[in-house]
Amino acid sequence: MPGFRAHLERSLSAFSAIPERIARLGARAEAEPAPVDPRLAAAEDAAASSLDLDDLRGDPWRLPVGHFALHSGATVPALVPFGEGGHLALSRDARDPAVAGLAQTALLHVLARTDPGAVRVVGMDTGALGAAFAPFTALQQAGVLEEVATDAAGQARVLDMAERQVAEAIAGRSDDRLVLVVASWEAPTRAHRQRLDALAHSGRAHGVAIIACGLPDLQQATRIDIGESSATVHNPPGEPWTTGEEYAIPLTLPSVPSSSYLASEAARLADRAREAGTLRFSDLVPLRTGDADPADGLEVRIGRDRSGDVALRFDDLTPHWLIGGRTGGGKTVFLLDLLYGLATRYRPGDVALFLLDFKEGVSFSEFIPTGRDRTYIPHARAVGVESDREYGLAVLEALSQEMVRRSQVMKNLGVSSYAALRRHEEYPRIVCVADEFQVLLAGNDRVAQQAVAALETIARKGRSYGVHLVLASQTLSGIESLWAKKDSIFGQFPMRVALPGAKTILEPDNNAAQGLSLGQVVVNTEGGAKGADRIVRFPNADDDHMRAVRENLNRTFADARPPRIFYGYKPLHLSDALPGEKGGDRLALGRHVDVGLSIAAPALTRSPGRNLALLGSDKALGETLEAAVEGLVPERRVVAVDETGAAVLPEGVEKAASLAEAMEDVADDTVIAVWGAENHGLDRAGLTRFRELLRRGPERGVHILGWWRALRRHMDDIGGSAGREDCAVSLVGTIPGGELIGHFGQQYSHWSPRAGRALLIDRHSDDSGGRLIIPFTRPEGVAMPHQSGTAEERIF
């Protein structure tokens, strides 16, 4: 406002001439009241009337400190420069009610004339235990008055905060101001005093303004000496009012404000701050759908800090993020803010989300269709709910493969960055979020090792191909595999997001996350380094708004497919299989734990060894055999032998009373399925015949599918290691990996049985170590046949 500034300078220079004239009156002026020189009075009045008091009073950085009484009897408000214009230093501390009143009024003056959030306040009152701030409880509750120090530890904290403010301003990360009000300061230590002086020195230009009561010698301050009946104002540091040291017209301090006035004004300002600081989910996540360009990075608003809205980026500088916080600290909500923000800013063709949740509970249910709500986020390509570690690994490996694919395309196009690739091909940026990712890396087993390797590849190279990781965890301390690789992997995660209770997300010497409240987060884009922190407030998620966003997205992108969902806890049934996934020579056993949940269906071809052994005592394997058989009929002739008495045989299956009967004159293209094969009751000749069928059957379309509840019995029945190749496909249930080594080999020792999963070993495939599958089980509600006592007796 150059006009105003020029006007002010003119007015002030007129005022500054007055004391000079007083000075010329010499000693007479001091000795006894002289008759007023009418020219002086006229000059004072002229100067006073030329001031635009409305403008001056509206300036937050002109503190009202009382008024000057002119010789004519008129008064003019004293408004001293503050902030960049200097600090304010009063000769008495706020235990003097007049001083307290002045400091309190000055503070309210600043807050009332600046935008909410533009000024933070901290205080010290060690001499009166915070009494000077008592009327400002509402401001404290609203977070405007951030801390009042009443002891040495508090003083240190307040000085820390002010120093951080200076550092942030110097680094260009904040443009708000911090007002430090020292109401009283009992016996400051030398070190603390030096820190205050340093703050006074550099704070003026870098965002810290001090009102110092009882510290008249503070540097860079307009000093006011308070006498019994009046006060004297010294020259403001940046704006001399007079050629002398002090301003000769005495100052009358403002009358002491009532505490009820102070409290009601504080409450008004607190309400205003609260309202302005409340960021709603709908502010971050608009209903309309955006089409921002992902070429140079993804940007998403996640909340607000002191200087306004905060947007974070996935780009070359912050390609991968690490998020931490205690349970209940708001991690899920933060992720919802982030992901819904991305989904409303970018088209599904430009951003692809892969969401993995390794904890119990359904964090990502807001992205997928459910029974009650068919809407979903079309950007989500794959969602793992209570994911197996193997599923997480499969997703990471799929992302690595996608990077390889993109690298080949980029090579062909002669480009070396994702941004350049986007000029030719519309590959989406990929954001993969793994919640409680430490589960994936727990221990030092095969999955952990492979997951670390995949993470490392993506972390190192993802930025070039537009692939980004967000790893979230309640704790990082248990992640042995990752700690071992700490430097190599964590170094690739410059973006650190620390929620309340986060321990190891920031550097060990950085305690910025301490004292965060729910809804606040520390964002640090320098790998958690101390001093690079922004405290950001993010909104709570809103179910109704999320649903409205999903509905809108589903309307706008009606062609987008729903995400592939992996429910770690849900059983699968053959009835969910697509027509092309079963029948013919496909033996549908379940689904692989992979990104596409591909069908696990070994082929029953005429090659040697194409027989199946289901191994383990869990009843679910019997149900898997039921599904396998059901998938074959009616295309294949199936003869079933149930030695358990518990099988539910599908329609169209022929029954045989025993394996011996089933093996009589077997026609070509016949499948023999046996439940409880260890109870076959074959004699020596029968066993020979059985082994012969295993060996020679497949070439004429005859296959044996058998469920053995004991591995040793299976090994004996097929003739030990000599018959191993005759049964090339095995589905292993409850048998621990250690017991598999003898028959299958060392590479299967990793298998640890668990409910709802089985290990598919196909000696003719390339999968070293087998593949984890979710075997098909019997749909609930299928009646068990009457169980005969004899059958039961034979099992146990």
Ligand X SMILES: Nc1ncnc2c1ncn2[C@@H]1O[C@H](COP(=O)(O)OP(=O)(O)OP(=O)(O)O)[C@@H](O)[C@H]1O
Binding site for ligand X (CB under 6 A): 325, 327-333, 518-519, 538-540
Q: How far is CA 492 from CA 311, 335, 469, 495, in A?
A: 20, 20, 10, 9
Which is closer to ligand X, CB of 326 or CB of 461?
Answer: 326
CA atoms of 101 and 261, how far apart (whole Å): 11
Residue 538 C-beta: closest distance to ligand X, Å:
5
Residue 541 C-beta: closest distance to ligand X, Å:
7
CA atoms of 568 and 440, how far apart (whole Å): 13
Q: Which two tokens stand for residue 691?
A: 């082994």
Residue 362 C-beta: closest distance to ligand X, Å:
10
Residue 330 C-beta: closest distance to ligand X, Å:
3
Which is closer to ligand X, CB of 298 or CB of 338?
Answer: 338
Residue 331 labelled as part of a binding site:
yes
Which is closer to ligand X, CB of 152 or CB of 362?
Answer: 362
Residue 501 C-beta: closest distance to ligand X, Å:
8
> By the 8 A CB rule, do 533 and 360 touch?
no
CA atoms of 417 and 415, how far apart (whole Å): 6
Residue 515 C-beta: closest distance to ligand X, Å:
16
Which is closer to ligand X, CB of 58 or CB of 328?
Answer: 328
Residue 373 C-beta: closest distance to ligand X, Å:
19
Which is closer to ligand X, CB of 280 or CB of 374?
Answer: 280
Residue 19 C-beta: closest distance to ligand X, Å:
56
Residue 327 labelled as part of a binding site:
yes
Q: In 431-447, which positions are buried (b, 16+ CB within 10 angstroms) versus exposed (e)? A: bbbbbbbbbbbbeeebb
Residue 781 labelled as part of a binding site:
no
Which is closer to ligand X, CB of 537 or CB of 757?
Answer: 537
Please enumerate in sequence order all residues whose Cβ is within 8 A of that of 666, keeping only pairs 6 or more positions apart, or say none: 639, 672, 693, 697, 702
Residue 161 C-beta: closest distance to ligand X, Å:
22
CA atoms of 212 and 90, how far apart (whole Å): 6
Which is closer to ligand X, CB of 111 or CB of 499?
Answer: 499
Residue 66 labelled as part of a binding site:
no
Q: Which two tokens stand for residue 453?
A: 């390797």
Which is closer to ligand X, CB of 387 or CB of 777?
Answer: 387
Residue 752 C-beta: closest distance to ligand X, Å:
26
Residue from 330, 336, 279 nearest 308 by CA: 279
Helical residues (DSSP H) of 346-466, grouped into ranges: 389-413, 418-422, 438-441, 446-465
> By the 8 A CB rule, do 136 and 262 touch?
yes
Q: CA end-to-end span of the chain, whole Å? A: 95
Residue 329 labelled as part of a binding site:
yes
Residue 130 labelled as part of a binding site:
no
Please enumerate in sequence order all residues whose Cβ is within 8 A of that of 260, keeping only pairs 6 or more positions apart, or say none: none
Q: Distance from CA of residue 428 to its chain's centroid? A: 21
Position of tokens 């058998």? 706
Position of tokens 């379309």? 701
Which is closer to ligand X, CB of 326 or CB of 564?
Answer: 326
**Which stretch of DSSP H or E encloses residue 690?**
helix 684-696
Residue from 138, 75, 155, 410 nearest 274 by CA: 138
CA atoms of 578 and 7, how far apart (whole Å): 82
CA atoms of 138 and 296, how far apart (whole Å): 44
Residue from 736, 732, 744, 743 nearest 708 by CA: 732
Residue type, 691: R
Which is closer to ligand X, CB of 96 or CB of 305?
Answer: 305
Q: Which residues are annotated as a binding site?
A: 325-332
Annotated binding residues for ATP: 325-332
